[in-house]
Structure 1
Amino acid sequence: MTNYKQVVYQSQLNHKSKLVLRRRTRKRFNPRIFIDRTIKTTAIISLLFTGFTGVGATGFWGMEIATSSHYWQQQKKTCLGIMLVSFSGFLGSALIGAGFSIQRDKF
């Protein structure tokens, strides 16, 4: 007695001796929820990564000043580049999320 939407979960007798069927509906894959969660996760991860690489770039900048070495300057520039890319990812995911939100609301 199953169809594509519902599955018989449990059968019981209630206090009036009637058979009661409890049904549990199957969860369907909803692409909108998946896309929304993916965009939110991407925004959060890219923002955190931006912060961590910013801290790293600040540390390398301090080491560059203290030692006057070109190695720390290269590391600082690498961190700043990664920070720029991850912040761009944050802005892009926020823009896409806002676009989907406006499209759903049909402004």
Structure 2
Amino acid sequence: MTNYKQVVPQSQLDHKSKMVLRRRTRRRFNPRIFLDRTIETTAIVSLLFTGFAGVGATGCWGMEIATSSQHWQQHKKTCLGMMLVSFSGFLGSALIGASFSIQRDKF
């Protein structure tokens, strides 16, 4: 019973009491912070995916040379297409992020 704190309504506290009640502040939704974090996450994920697709394309290229198979050539083209799409996603998110930061700085 000594470890439990008693909750006392603020109206029952006198001014000389040492008990201090803190108000919990509610965090507000800030669309700017949300947009910045979304753009940053998109840029990081698209760069990572570009790297992984590049490794996949390199592996498929090696298998295509070793086996002379059309199967690996199709996989290589798919990986290269994914690389192109994800890298363009990175460039787009970087451009959007830069334009928003320029608008905020009012150049």
TM-score band by shorter chain is 0.7 to 0.9
**What is the DSSP-based 3-state SS (H/G/I as helix, E as strand, rest coil) of the residue aligned with 2:22?**
strand
Partner of 1:90: 90
Q: Give the residue type in structure 2 aligned to 1:61.
A: W
Runs (5+) with no aligned partner, structure 2:
1-8
In structure 1, the residue matched to 2:4 is: none
Cα distance in 2 for residues equivalent to 1:63 and 1:18: 75
| Displacement of 1:17 | 2.4
Secondary structure class of the residue paired with 1:23: coil
> How far off is 1:101 after superposition?
0.7
More strand by share: 1
Relative contact order, CA 8 A, sep 6+: which one is greater? 2
Q: Distance in 2 between matches of 1:18 and 1:53?
A: 62
Counterpart residue number, 2:47: 47
**Which consecutive segments of 4 or more residues in structure 1 shift more than 2 A?**
16-21
Measure the CA separation in 2 of the matches of 1:74 and 1:30.
Answer: 45
The within-5 A match list for 1:48-87 is 48-87=48-87
Shift of 1:41: 0.4
Deviations 1:2-44 (A, max 9, x none): xxxxxxxx96x7xx42664422211111100111000000000
* Runs (5+) with no aligned partner, structure 1: 1-9
> What is the letter of the counterpart of residue 35 of structure 1?
L
SS of the residue corresponding to residue 29 of structure 2 reads coil
Residue matched to 1:27: 27
